[in-house]
Structure 1
């Protein structure tokens, strides 16, 4: 019977069949698995007869229960066949992974599943990682393959329900890294790292906005090759941080590498700042946020502590320290002047602070700033006489003045206090009776006019406002300073209120000078001889240095000496005229203070105007003068002036003369008998007799008085506390 196939086809198959069969490789399990791994797909292994079929394994393990701890109810830990079949290993046999099982009746304790059969490279990397090394050292809690990828229900990495899918990875890592017990036991660096990451700009971009390109844990730490940061091969090693971050931030990495920080890092500097030093590792936030800006100076200060210290002495630094976390202070942070990732030495033309660029840098905030303005020294050290000679001299002068005034009047006040207490407790009946009588005496005389009392009210209110808004800047490092600024609404509000207080100060000073000029004009006839009508210089001298004038005279020196003798019981208690020597000192202290504080304050308020004709370093000098003179004024008023006016036994608890404008006859005779005798001899005593009603206004005036008085005392306590706490550091 003849074949139906053509003879030549039969011949061809006979000849070439061996060659065709040799060209086609036999199916294996390794090649498909390797190819699948390269394509990030589940390995496909050719089916073969299993030593132990899956069905026999599931007979026991589908309905498996264990008890976590003795006495606790059992929980199901079995294998779900329907889920296993859908898993990445669904076509494998149990014994492909559990290779040491050769019989269904195997021992209860077996070796872990062998992932290396298919995933040699991943397992090799894991073996050298921190997790793998921990396992080798016997740490059973360290993450294994199953800890991250799962077990029998494992799905592909790119599948949305995989534990290591990018959106789910933070929660998977948090299983261990947010566990307080594990982080403490294994001394893991940052506590609750995953939680911090989720609150960061990276975490929010990934989990809240769904931006799958945002970095997750493995992008920064690696996948199977996670190592400790001290390991040179670690992605989070100090030397590798910039490169790790540069995976996403390519342009910024290039800018950083060219900067002074990047150049030092390339030379192997292990201390130079890298990305995590400024942005942190897991709490990364938008650099444009107020909170980031408020903490940026601290980041720079980790390395540049000396620069931060003197930056804090400037308005920029103090306002930054007092700024509310969620309200961006309207002041310059370090990076506003030095740059962000492009920091260069000042000598480098690329630096924002180079001679070519510094004016433009200042103009970012100070529109219209010129070259003189740019001479301001933001890190000036007043103790450095070599580099800041003029500033050092001014600082030493103000410090000497401050210590000298407080030392002199401190001793003066103590002597006065001890003498008054001694007289009150001993046999000085006249002294005690005079104190009681002067508060009960109905015969009253005018000492201050309504206009003078109005000016004093302006002085008190503006002064307290200036102290409340200014002293927190001087003592920015205290909790009470931050509290006051927070209550006011931040540095910007405090600055506006401070400027308002300054305007009121200039206003009462101008009003007082105007009143002096008007008073001299009204008394111009008294400067002429009544008989000849000619001007007499002698009369001008009497008017300027007379008892009704605030200008000091030799009589003040004589009163001072007599007062010191009385302190030590070497002479009688002196009698004064309308003004005492300490009142004249207070009066001219206001002139000195308004000039020193006022001019220096104007320089800082309008720096661009003053640097049209002054060098920028004058702003530094103005700050020292303004700060120390303000401390001198506040300390003097709240201690010595309060004692002279309110604390001494004759006046305690408060002298209301500045509100009532009146003084009793008893007090005049007891303390200002020369004034009383002069008015009596000149026939002008009745001109000063009070004709207005005081009792109806007394309670209101005293209420305001105690409010002002109490505020001053509270501020004094806060200032003393701040100075003591600074000395403690």
Structure 2
């Protein structure tokens, strides 16, 4: 028999008559003689549990007029047995009990699981009030917190491997949760609107309201118009085909974290949601400006670029051949015009998911990619070999006679006679070249290598995609500026020297004199002498000849110079096509924008890689130049260096009587610290960028 430990002896004496008489009908007073004690507790399963029944709460409940034994039907006498069965709700609610037994909660309970939800866990115990009562745990405003007792319990969610832990906290931050719990809009859905009430089933059960094939109908109870649109879409049309798991509401909007579709975060994450099914399309989309900008702009909010649904539609996605599709022949220009005002039919020929590796479907893009890749690899192989042999020869000479090497290096850097090699205007142009180039690389390479952490870091540092794009355009303007200034300077020089192409005897134009000047030693155009110098230099690499002496310009300096013309033309024109696509689509097909992206991206990589490796080596990192050649900043060169490396130029100036024209006073000490600081900063940044580019390429190679 049950023996209460804390019941006063006088109460036990009062119960004796009832026990002795064997009374058949037990009254509530009989139970409350013990359970009305607020201090009565018992240890049950290691927990201290109160056995007190608040008569005030009981009286105001829906069961206030009932007897205790109506629910606790296995009590036959007082004191009762120590262990009792739970209150049996099924005696009255048999229809609900039948539903509950088929639910996930009921099934777990039938298996003996003590953690599963029971009637009292949701509705309460002795204080059950109607569901419509604001105080009810299952009133709509309270239901999420009631479900959270289990579904936000870390121990239970981990033990039962629940797919969505912390559901309540996620729901409260969703558009549904805020509408209901923050603003009190009871028309907003709560847990039971989506999952059911007593018949909750697991999501993989085909009868579940949140099963993949039923979720559209569940959401459609509230979103009627959208459900009708979805039913006519390519997704909705294939939903009945159980073999194809097409996208349904929660695939795009999630289950408990549903947010406003117009939010920046929703747009920023939309590509990955679509890509979960359309992985091949996502990969190609990420190679476009839209895709890269969307990925890099995620942490700062989605930029103003097209996401998947901006082109394909929202709930009404249809195949492109469907006349109602946003991408049908009749609608595609209007779809593009939503972002690109003034879009035309040619502009709409742009291929947003083109694969430049697909020769069969995109031959123009494929051959453009092959050409640029071949050019890039060829240049790096040829100059890589050239640089390796040069470095090897320098190391050989250094290791064999380091003393002479050091003395020569110091001698050429500390001469007592100095001559002008670059005039102030040329140094100013080089400053514009350096600053614009670094700005373009800093703002452009993160787009090419958008998948790296450093790309995201740089864009965050700059303030996001939109700021980076503006800075990139500014760098392009500086590029066109210095290129235009240089061409204008050359034009002025040609006008001033127009008499030099005339025959001294006849005073008429001489083609031979034009050729002599155009390919002479002061010209940057390649000549036969440059080829001879190249061959002589290669022989010196292998110890088969003397180190060649050069004139004013070396063959590798001419290559660098002409590479700027090539780069500005290729990168500049392709960049303008992408900058002003509507203008160029007036007379070019839309797929020319795709080609422009390939050309611009690969040529930019070639330029950055070449400058930060071969140009830096030829100019600064040769052993005889380390740590930096300052001539481009000072504009001057010592007589010793001219005799050591450019003896032909020195001898020619002597022969022409023009050496004193180039002689300068030694004013370098006044500002060399500032110039060197800029110089070290410039190519130090270049080396950092080179390291990041190499890292990004290795990541893609081994990914």
With normalisation by structure 1, the TM-score equals 0.92
Deviation at 1:270, TM superposition (A): 4.1
Q: Is the 8 A contact 1:324 1:486 kept in 2?
A: no
Q: Which residue of 2 aligns with 1:31?
A: none
Q: Which residue of 2 aligns with 1:566?
A: 540
Q: Is the 8 A contact 1:51 1:95 kept in 2?
A: no
Q: Which residue of 1 aligns with 2:381?
A: 407
Deviation at 1:68, TM superposition (A): 6.2
Corresponding residue SS for 2:238: helix
Task: Give 1:579-598 correspondences, 5 Å limit.
Answer: 579-598=553-572
Deviation at 1:67, TM superposition (A): 3.6
Tell whether 2:120 aligns with 1:149: no
Q: Is the 8 A contact 1:363 1:369 kept in 2?
A: yes
Aligned length in residues: 679
Partners of 2:250 and 2:648 in 1: how far apart? 76
Could you report, residue by residue, the CA deviation over 1:456-500 in whole angstroms, capped at 9, with x for unpaired residues?
Answer: 000000001100110010001011111111111111111111111
Deviation at 1:521, TM superposition (A): 1.4
Tell whether 2:275 aligns with 1:301: yes
Task: Give 1:33-432 correspondences, 5 Å limit.
Answer: 51-63=25-37, 64-67=40-43, 74=48, 76-427=50-401, 430-432=404-406
Task: Give 1:528-543 correspondences, 5 Å limit.
Answer: 528-543=502-517
Corresponding residue SS for 1:286: coil
Q: Which residue of 2 aligns with 1:578?
A: 552
Q: Which residue of 1 aligns with 2:408?
A: 434
When structure 1 is superposed on structure 2, of 424-433 and 528-537 the one drifting more is 424-433
Q: Is the 8 A contact 2:311 2:327 kept in 1?
A: yes
Partners of 2:425 and 2:419 in 1: how far apart? 16
Q: Is the 8 A contact 2:368 2:599 kept in 1?
A: yes
Question: In structure 1, which of residues 629, 638, 643 is the aligned counterpart of residue 617 of structure 2?
Answer: 643
Corresponding residue SS for 2:239: helix
Deviation at 1:528, TM superposition (A): 1.7
Q: Is the 8 A contact 2:285 2:291 kept in 1?
A: yes
Deviation at 1:108, TM superposition (A): 1.4
Tell whether 2:443 aligns with 1:479: no
Partners of 1:624 and 1:632 in 2: how far apart? 12
Q: Is the 8 A contact 2:269 2:298 kept in 1?
A: no
Q: Which residue of 2 aligns with 1:29?
A: none
Q: Which residue of 2 aligns with 1:552?
A: 526
C-alpha distance 489-578 of structure 1, shift in aligned 2 (>3 A): same
Corresponding residue SS for 1:663: strand
Q: Which residue of 1 aligns with 2:604?
A: 630
Corresponding residue SS for 2:664: coil
Deviation at 1:325, TM superposition (A): 3.6
Uncovered stretches (5+) of structure 1, i.e. residues with no partner:
1-48
Q: Is the 8 A contact 1:291 1:326 kept in 2?
A: no
Partners of 1:303 and 1:151 in 2: how far apart? 47
When structure 1 is superposed on structure 2, of 642-651 and 103-112 the one drifting more is 103-112
Q: Is the 8 A contact 1:576 1:673 kept in 2?
A: yes
Partners of 2:24 and 2:274 in 1: how far apart? 64
Deviation at 1:538, TM superposition (A): 1.4
Tell whether 2:651 aligns with 1:677: yes
Corresponding residue SS for 1:307: helix
Deviation at 1:244, TM superposition (A): 0.4
Corresponding residue SS for 1:266: coil
Could you report, residue by residue, the CA deviation over 1:666-704 in whole angstroms, capped at 9, with x for unpaired residues?
Answer: 111111111111111111111111136211110000111
Corresponding residue SS for 1:233: coil
C-alpha distance 109-58 of structure 1, shift in aligned 2 (>3 A): same
C-alpha distance 428-479 of structure 1, shift in aligned 2 (>3 A): closer
Deviation at 1:532, TM superposition (A): 2.8
Q: Is the 8 A contact 2:452 2:696 kept in 1?
A: yes
Q: Which residue of 2 aligns with 1:488?
A: 462
Partners of 2:636 and 2:24 in 1: how far apart? 114
Corresponding residue SS for 1:220: helix
Could you report, residue by residue, the CA deviation over 1:45-74 in whole angstroms, capped at 9, with x for unpaired residues?
Answer: xxxx9921111112222333134675x8x4
Tell me how large the CA RMSD over aligned residues is.
1.3
Could you report, residue by residue, the CA deviation over 1:489-545 in whole angstroms, capped at 9, with x for unpaired residues?
Answer: 111111111111111101110100011111111111221233332222111111100
Q: Which residue of 2 aligns with 1:8?
A: none
Q: Is the 8 A contact 1:324 1:490 kept in 2?
A: no
Corresponding residue SS for 1:407: helix
Q: Which of the pair has more CA radius of gyration?
A: 1
Tell whether 2:578 aligns with 1:604: yes
Question: In structure 2, which of residues 417, 421, 433 is the aligned counterpart of residue 443 of structure 1?
Answer: 417
With normalisation by structure 2, the TM-score equals 0.95
Partners of 2:49 and 2:99 in 1: how far apart? 34
Partners of 1:597 and 1:560 in 2: how far apart? 28
Deviation at 1:441, TM superposition (A): 1.5
Could you report, residue by residue, the CA deviation over 1:30-55 in whole angstroms, capped at 9, with x for unpaired residues?
Answer: xxxxxxxxxxxxxxxxxxx9921111
C-alpha distance 166-447 of structure 1, shift in aligned 2 (>3 A): same
Deviation at 1:443, TM superposition (A): 1.4
Q: Which residue of 1 aligns with 2:436?
A: 462
Corresponding residue SS for 2:134: coil
Q: Is the 8 A contact 1:50 1:93 kept in 2?
A: no
Q: Is the 8 A contact 2:300 2:464 kept in 1?
A: no
Deviation at 1:432, TM superposition (A): 3.1
Could you report, residue by residue, the CA deviation over 1:641-685 in whole angstroms, capped at 9, with x for unpaired residues?
Answer: 000111111111111111100111111111111111111111111
Uncovered stretches (5+) of structure 2, i.e. residues with no partner:
1-22
Q: Which residue of 2 aligns with 1:38?
A: none
Partners of 1:336 and 1:77 in 2: how far apart? 61
Partners of 2:695 and 2:263 in 1: how far apart? 33
Partners of 1:210 and 1:486 in 2: how far apart? 38
